[in-house]
C-alpha cells in the first residue's frame, strides 16, 4: 500500500461514518412519524409486524455503535497521520499534507489557501509523499 492509499483510508472512513449517520437519521425520521391507517376490504395479515418500533430502535442503536467505533478508528488513523506529517521538515509539504489528510480539504480549497495553482499543489503533494517514503 502506497503512502497515498494509506492516507486515503481516513477519507473512506469519514464517508462511511457519514453514510451510517444518514441511515440512522432516516430510520429515526421514519419512526417519528406515525403510519397512516390503510383502509381496505382485504383481510389483514394474521401477524402484522408489531415490533416495528423496537426493531427500528435496535437498528438505530446498532448504527450509532458502528459510527462510534468508526469515529474511534478515524481518530486513531488521524493520530498516526499527524505523527507522520509532523516528521516532514519542509513547511510547504507539511501544510499540503495536513490540509489534505487531516483537514480533508479538496484541491481547490488547498490551492486557494496556499496561493498555488492546482497543478502546483499536485506537484507539492507528490513531492511530499515521496519525502515520506524515505
> Which pLDDT tens digit goes with each residue over 75-120?
999 899 889 889 888 999 999 999 998 899 999 999 999 999 999 9
C-alpha cell at 47: 401477524
> Across the chain, what does the average pLDDT equal?
87
Q: Give residue-wise pLDDT tens across range 25-41.
A: 999 888 887 766 667 76
Per-residue confidence (pLDDT) for residue 114, from 0 to 100: 95
Q: Sign of torsion, CA 72 77 78 79?
A: positive
CB atoms under 10 Å from CB of 131, counted, come to 16
Asked whether 70 and 13 are in contact (CB, 8 A), the reply is: yes
Distance, CA of 7 to CA of 97 (rounded, Å): 9
Coil, strand or helix at 65: helix
- Over residues 51-73, mean pLDDT: 90
Q: Is the pTM of this model over 0.75?
A: no
Q: Which residues of 50-78 are buried (b: 16+ CB within 10 A; e: fewer)?
A: eeeeeeeeeebeebeebbeebeeebeebb
Amino acid at each position: 500500500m502506497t503512502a497515498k492509499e494509506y492516507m486515503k483510508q481516513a477519507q473512506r472512513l469519514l464517508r462511511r461514518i457519514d453514510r451510517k449517520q444518514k441511515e440512522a437519521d432516516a430510520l429515526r425520521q421514519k419512526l417519528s412519524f406515525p403510519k397512516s391507517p390503510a383502509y381496505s376490504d382485504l383481510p389483514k395479515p394474521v401477524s402484522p409486524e408489531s415490533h416495528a418500533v423496537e426493531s427500528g430502535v435496535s437498528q438505530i442503536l446498532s448504527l450509532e455503535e458502528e459510527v462510534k467505533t468508526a469515529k474511534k478508528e478515524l481518530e486513531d488513523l488521524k493520530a498516526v497521520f499527524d505523527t507522520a506529517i509532523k516528521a516532514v521538515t519542509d513547511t510547504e509539504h507539511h501544510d499540503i499534507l495536513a490540509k489534505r489528510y487531516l483537514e480533508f480539504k479538496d484541491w481547490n480549497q488547498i490551492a486557494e489557501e496556499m496561493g498555488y495553482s492546482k497543478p502546483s499543489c499536485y506537484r507539492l503533494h507528490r513531492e511530499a509523499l515521496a519525502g515520506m517514503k524515505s
